[in-house]
Amino acid sequence: MQEMVYRVTLQAPLGERLGELRLNVDDGNCEGTLDIMRFSNRVKGTLDEWGHCRLTGQLRTLLHTRSFEGEGMLGDTADICLHCGPMKLTVSGKRVAQGA
C-alpha cells in the first residue's frame, strides 16, 4: 500500500479554497480524504500506472452536500476535474508526502 498526500487548491465559484488530498493506493484502487472547506470528504476510485485517476465522493460545504465524479492526473502534482452536478471544479496542487 502506498500513501500519497497533496496540498491542493479547489477552484470554486466563490474563489479558491485550500486543502489536502490524502490517498491510500493499493493495486490500482485508492481511497482517502479530500479535506477542504472545513470538512473531511471521503473519496475512492482508481489510479493506473500512468497516473490517470478517477475519483468519486461527496463534497460538503456549510450549505450543501454534492456528489461528484472526477478524473485527472496524479504524480508529483495533482490536476483533477470534479463534475459536481452542473459545475466543474478544478483541484490542483503539489505532492508533499509519499509513504510505502
- Domain enclosing residue 62, as ranges: 2-93
Structural domain includes residue 49: yes
Helices assigned H by DSSP within 1-100 = none
Q: What pLDDT does residue 27 have?
A: 95
Domain membership flag for residue 98: no
Place of cell 493495486: 27
| Predicted structure pTM score | 0.92
Determine what percent of the chain falls in helix, strand and coil, rounding each to the nearest 5.
0, 80, 20
- Number of domains comprising the chain: 1
In-domain check, residue 99: no
Cell triple for residue 90? Answer: 478544478
- The CATH number linked to 77 is 2.40.128
Residues in the chain: 100
Render pLDDT for 3-36 as a digit per residue (tens, 0 to 9): 999 999 999 888 899 999 999 999 999 999 999 9
Residue-level pLDDT at 98: 65
Answer yes or no: is 71 within a domain: yes
In a domain, 23, yes or no: yes
Of residues 44, 50, 83, 49, the one with CA closest to residue 66? 83
